[in-house]
Amino acid sequence: MKIKVTSPGRVNLIGEHTDYNGGYVLPCALNLSINLSFEINNKESFVKTDLGYSMTFNINNPYKKSSIHWENYVFGVIEELKKIKSDLNNFSCDIKSSLPPGAGISSSSALVCGLIKGLSILNNLNLDNSEIINLSRNVEHYYIGLLGGIMDQYTILNAKENKAILLNCNDLKTKYIDINFGNLEILLLDTNIKHNLASTEYNVRVKECKQALKTINEVNNIKYKNLSQVSLEEINGAKNELSLNQFKRAIFVYNENRRVIKSAELIEKNNLSEFGKLMYQSHEGLKNNYEVSCKELDFLVDQTKKIDGVIGARMMGGGFGGCTVNLIKSNEIAEIVSKIKENYNSNFGINLKAIIAKAGSGINVVKI
Ligand code: GLA
């Protein structure tokens, strides 16, 4: 039996760094994906990618961290699955991808979710989506060292074509929102500043938020489980006890959550110009209060402010590089992209990559 898994990337319309704070996000799946083709192999396991990497190992060997970053995703998945079934089958996996890695469109979660899905079927594990999400998060936390949330994995597993997901990351309540932007498109502009989030300040932000929550709870004599539950009065009440950075992070999370809820309403009412304004506000917050942007992302967002055909723009994903997400008039894309590309190149000497994103469907499996 051959199993083919299509595991998409993720676009987040708004709601950044809120997922691990138990807040709201508004993502959709991208119509680009990692495609994995699995088969049982008797002797040893073999994973090969179209980027020219390959690895050979015996699945029964004890876990050993690899010095090659991407191999740890594969080993992490296998270790997590072994906790459920100790004698997994050796396998071969051929990976082909249309998702650029390190661009903030969740290529790593697409890889991990795709591997878990395929291997769980090859080994008759019958995992449901929530189990796959948890295992996938464990892989990031324990084998990669990134203390990420669940937005990417949830989206990859549950997305529907032409829909965004308004997801409450605290109780996982979900509302699908129709994406029908008429004469507008979602355009991703890739800075080509590649990042491995585990080596950025991402984890520092996770810890700052945890510490801010602890202090806000203590000062206000409350017991919230996550930072997204805290009110503005409670944050201000704890201002003197919070460090300036913790205060800024808490204010950002408070505001970003409200922007997500408002954005979902605006998109439902087709008021996209107001949604665009919230995108710009989100970027300002990520830049100034959350401090996860970088000069290339800021440059791209600033460029769009001078152009009428762009309705909204902001950095997307963990930050420190990767893409901006833009809402842009379809018939002006070519002209706008060529102008921004030229300016970006003359400022940074880096080529800009543009991707027109469609809201695609979630993970898909075909058995042959
Ligand atoms: C990365 C993480 C997500 C989320 C975003 C920021 O993509 O994997 O869990 O925290 O950053 O919104």
**Rounded Cα–Cα distance for residues 282 and 86 (Å):** 45
Residue 317 CA, ligand 1 centroid: distance in Å: 5
**Distance, CA 134 to ligand 1 centroid (Å)?**
15
Backbone torsion region of residue 114, taken as left when φ is above 0, otherwise alpha when ψ lies between -120 and 50, otherwise beta: alpha
Q: What number does the ligand 1 atom closest to the CA of 10 have?
A: 7
Q: What is the reported pTM?
A: 0.97
For ligand 1, the distance from its centroid to the CA atom of residue 24, given in whole angstroms, is 12
Cα separation values, 297 from 64, 190, 300, Å:
37, 9, 5
Q: Helix, strand, or coil here: 275?
A: helix
In the numeric block, which tokens belong to residue 188?
Answer: 């991703």
CATH of 184-357, one of 3.40.50.1220, 3.40.50.10860, 3.10.580.10, 3.30.70.890: 3.30.70.890
Q: Which of 17, 99, 228, 293 to mutate to test the pocket of ligand 1 (most atoms within 8 A of CB)?
A: 17
Residue 105 CA to ligand 1 center (angstroms) comes to: 10
Residue 86 has pLDDT above 80, yes or no: yes
Q: Do 2-178+361-367 and 184-357 show the same overall fold?
A: no
Burial 118-129 (b: 16+ CB within 10 A, else e): bbbbbbebebeb
| C-beta of 17 in contact with ligand 1 (< 6 A) | yes
The residue ranges of every structural domain in the chain are: 2-178+361-367, 184-357
Rg (the chain; Cα; Å) = 21
Q: From CA 288, how far away is CA 290, in angstroms rounded?
A: 6
Q: Which of 107, 137, 141, 151 to mutate to test the pocket of ligand 1 (most atoms within 8 A of CB)?
A: 151
Q: What is the mean pLDDT of residues 97-102?
A: 90
Distance CA 90, CA 66 (A): 19
Q: Are 229 and 22 in contact (CB under 8 A)?
A: yes
151 in ligand 1 pocket by Cβ < 6 Å? yes
Is the confidence at residue 198, as pLDDT, over 90?
A: no
Residue nearest (by alpha carbon) to ligand 1 atom 1: 318
Q: Is 319 in the pocket of ligand 1 (CB under 6 A)?
A: no
* Segment (H or E) for 314: strand 310-315
DSSP designation for 62: P
291 close to ligand 1 (CB < 6 Angstrom): no
Q: Count of residues for the chain?
A: 368
d(CA 294, CA 308): 24
Q: What pLDDT is attached to residue 124? A: 96
What's the CA-to-centroid distance between 318 and ligand 1, angstroms?
A: 5
Q: Is the pLDDT of residue 296 over 90?
A: yes
Q: How many C-beta neighbours within 10 Å does residue 87 have?
A: 8
Tens of pLDDT, residue by residue over 141-184, are 999 999 999 999 999 999 999 999 999 999 999 999 999 999 99
Distance 247 CA to ligand 1 centre (A): 21
Q: Does the Cβ of 318 fall within 6 Å of ligand 1?
A: yes
Per-residue model confidence as pLDDT tens digits over 242-278: 999 999 999 999 999 999 999 999 999 999 999 999 9
Using the predicted structure, report yes or no on whether residue 292 has a pLDDT greater than 80. Answer: yes
Q: What is the pLDDT of residue 26?
A: 99
> CATH number for the 2-178+361-367 domain, one of 3.30.230.10, 3.40.50.1970, 3.40.50.970, 3.90.1150.10?
3.30.230.10
Does residue 140 have its Cβ closer than 6 Å to ligand 1?
Answer: no
Residues 46-65: tens digit of each pLDDT: 999 998 999 999 999 999 99
Closest approach atom of ligand 1 to CA 149: 9
Closest approach atom of ligand 1 to CA 202: 11
Q: What is the pLDDT of residue 42?
A: 87
Q: Determine the 3-state secondary structure of 183 from DSSP.
A: coil
Nearest to 73 by CA among 39, 42, 34: 34
Question: Which neighbouring-strand residues pair with 11?
Answer: 28
What is the dihedral sign for C-alpha 17, 22, 28, 33?
Answer: positive
pLDDT digits (tens, 9 = 90+) for 311-351: 999 999 999 999 999 999 999 999 999 999 999 999 999 99
The amino acid at residue 268 is E
Indicate the angle between helix axes 107-122 and 129-138, nearest 10 degrees. Answer: 120
Task: From the CA of 25, give the closest atom in ligand 1.
Answer: 12
CB 152 less than 6 A from any atom of ligand 1: yes
Pocket of ligand 1 contains residue 76 by CB under 6 Å = no
| Three-class SS state of 226 | coil
Catalytic residues: 152
221 alpha carbon, distance to own chain's centre: 34
Residue 156 to residues 160, 218, 357, 361: CA-CA distances in angstroms? 9, 37, 15, 8
Q: For the segment 34-44, what is each residue's pLDDT rounded down to a tens digit? A: 999 999 998 99
Name the one residue in this structure whose structure tokens are 């300036």. Answer: 244
CB distance 149 to ligand 1 below 6 Å: yes
Residue nearest to atom 8 of ligand 1 (CA): 148
Q: Positive or negative, the Cα torsion across 338, 339, 345, 350?
A: negative
Q: Which atom of ligand 1 is nearest to the CA of 18?
A: 12
Q: Does 243 or 199 have the greater pLDDT score? A: 243
CA 86 to centroid of ligand 1, rounded, Å? 31
| pLDDT of 2 above 90 | yes
The enclosing H or E element of 11 equals strand 2-12
The DSSP-derived string for 259-272 is HHHHHHHHHHTT-H
Helix boundaries (H) for 139-243: 151-158, 202-220, 232-237
CA–centroid distance, 121 to ligand 1, in Å, is: 27
Distance CA(326)–CA(329), nearest Å, equals: 10
The strands making up 353-357's β-sheet, listed across from edge to edge, are 310-315, 323-329, 184-190, 353-357
Nearest one of 195, 191, 190 to 357, comparing CA atoms: 190
- 107 Cβ neighbours under 8 A, 6+ residues apart: 9, 34, 97, 99, 100, 101
Given a contact cutoff of 8 angstroms between Cβ atoms, the answer to whether 30 and 155 are in contact is no
